[in-house]
Structure 1
């Protein structure tokens, strides 16, 4: 179930990011370089891609809201896909419900509208304090886009199971915080940009890490097979 690329969002100017002093020294390390992760078999780009940005996110997480526009801008600038996984933290009140609403829009309405919904949830995060607030926000969002919100969004629990499957995958990888952002390559290497307990959590590093990954995989064969994520953003 692939998701198309949503509209580009405003983020820090690209030129400023590429001018950082460590830009020329960014590298992509192999799996052995990050002992924090466990089962790294899913850290691959989608088929036909040399590089991808893998993100485990929580729609109620302020840090995720901050990194979200940067992820999209980097994906647009470098024409790489963003593979997103839902990782709703148990301490958050409405994040799991928001992920289910996003899955509903993705599967039942339009993947692009689901992208927009996620973006708008992040933008309006500060005004959503409860499940009732989320319900009202989602109802208004659907009405503004000519959709009627169903009385029961997920009667059979299929969408909830999809969200749980993403969460379980994160547990296998040993995701412990959100956002966890990893740049992955078709040759089996990866670099943790955010989420590593011992590393940097600055999403602006995506610019230099993705640039380095593309240069290092120039001429390399793209990924042949990969687990189809519940939602993949491409450009």
Structure 2
């Protein structure tokens, strides 16, 4: 059985998100860049010079359309892909899906990301939380994992999802998906927003890799 959400927590989060105008992106055309308020989350993980940072909602159709390009880019360039939850209040089953994904994260072997990718790939057929529960059970069984009666009995995973959503709001994110290519030790910009992953993601990563490339022999000098 999938996690049953705490109603007061979900309602308070939904009210806050609606007040701040957090929405799913209906179309990429004409989208305005994010006005970044706090860039503290826009950096690669330790040891990486380039990474993708994404804020998304598992019930967001635009996120589902962008996901194959993000998957391909992370695999092709072998760079980290940091995925943050940004819940959309009008999406009834995405909080449960986000909690499920974090539960699968705890199983290791990339199972949480595999679940996210599977949800996006099947999103159009997941039309309520009961269908999501059936889908999740089948996903777990296909990976040899037994789902507990309560995925998040103490609400710790939901609190982490909320913390991610709060992080997105502090960053200034107002739509999903919001995607950044972020860099460390770069001669260029420390982060660049990718407004349309379908057309802009790969060239933005190419530029970031060029901007962070060390001159020949630089690594040998102390």
TM-score of the superposed pair, with normalisation by structure 1: 0.73
Hey, what does 1:105 align to over in structure 2?
Answer: 104
Deviations 1:29-59, CA, capped at 9 Å, x for gaps: xxxxx77110112211111111111000111
Question: Within the alignment, does 1:124 sit opposite 2:122 as a pair?
Answer: yes
Q: Supply the distance in 1 between the matched residues of 2:67 and 2:105 (Cα, whole angstroms).
A: 18
Q: Supply the distance in 1 between the matched residues of 2:34 and 2:86 (Cα, whole angstroms).
A: 21
Unmatched segments (≥5 aa) in structure 2: 1-32
Hey, what does 1:189 align to over in structure 2?
Answer: 190
Contact 1:75 1:81 in 2 (8 A): yes
- Structure showing greater radius of gyration is 2
Deviates more, 1:96-105 or 1:212-221: 212-221
The higher-RCO structure (CA 8 Å, 6+ apart) is: 1
**1:85-96 residue pairs with structure 2 within 5 A?**
85-96=84-95
Unmatched segments (≥5 aa) in structure 1: 1-33, 195-200, 222-235
Hey, what does 1:217 align to over in structure 2?
Answer: 212
SS at match of 2:179: strand
Q: Supply the distance in 1 between the matched residues of 2:198 and 2:161 (Cα, whole angstroms).
A: 24
SS at match of 1:88: coil
Question: Within the alignment, does 1:81 sit opposite 2:80 as a pair?
Answer: yes
Q: Supply the distance in 1 between the matched residues of 2:199 and 2:115 (Cα, whole angstroms).
A: 23
SS at match of 1:49: coil
Hey, what does 2:57 align to over in structure 1?
Answer: 58
TM-score of the superposed pair, with normalisation by structure 2: 0.77
Match of 1:141 among 136, 139, 152: 139
Q: Supply the distance in 2 between the matched residues of 1:141 and 1:119 (Cα, whole angstroms).
A: 11
Q: Supply the distance in 1 between the matched residues of 2:60 and 2:85 (Cα, whole angstroms).
A: 11
Q: Supply the distance in 2 between the matched residues of 1:94 and 1:59 (Cα, whole angstroms).
A: 9
Q: Supply the distance in 1 between the matched residues of 2:119 and 2:140 (Cα, whole angstroms).
A: 12
**1:1-16 residue pairs with structure 2 within 5 A?**
none
Q: Supply the distance in 2 between the matched residues of 1:111 and 1:91 (Cα, whole angstroms).
A: 32
Q: What do you get for the CA RMSD once the two structures are aligned?
A: 1.9
